[in-house]
Amino acid sequence: MKKLTLVIRILVGLGMVFFGLTKFVPSLMMDLGEMPEAMNIWNAGAAASVYLMPLVGAIELVAGISLLINKFAPLMLIALIAVMINAFFVHLFMDPANIGGAAVFLLLTIFLMFQYKEAYKGLLKA
């Protein structure tokens, strides 16, 4: 299980570094083709907020680097799970044809959180 966790941690880390960088260097992102109108409206709103996509990109980038070097990984997974849940629901309701990537990264993030469950025991104490 440790080798699987290592592989998944590195894959999620690389994915988050890539997707984080695309928020700052949009030319890195491949053209996804025509998107549903609801997704275009959401993207326009996120861009109009000015801060939202750079904040998401920074969280993805810092979390990805953290996962790659295995420093503060449990903490970064807490920040990352919020981004992954949001990405999943945005695609679920506005762009279900492209939900695959968001679903995979959400499941992998949840898997990693379970692998680091000992680190969360203090947070979950009642």
Position 125 scores a pLDDT of 81
pLDDT along the chain (126 residues), means of 10: 95 97 86 83 92 95 98 96 97 94 97 95 82
Position 33 scores a pLDDT of 73
Position 85 scores a pLDDT of 98
User: What secondary structure does DSSP assign to 7-68, as a single string?
Assistant: HHHHHHHHHHHHHHHHHH-GGGSPP-----HHHHHHHHHHHHTSSHHHHHHHHHHHHHHHHH
The answer to whether 38 and 96 have CB atoms below 8 angstroms apart is no
At a CB cut-off of 8 Å and minimum separation 6, what does 54 contact? 23, 24
What are the residue ranges spanned by the domains of the chain? Answer: 2-25+38-117
pLDDT, tens digit, 9 for 90 and up, residues 46-75: 989 999 999 999 999 999 999 999 999 999
- Using alpha carbons only, what angle is made at residue 83 by residues 20 and 44, rounded to the nearest 5 degrees? 75
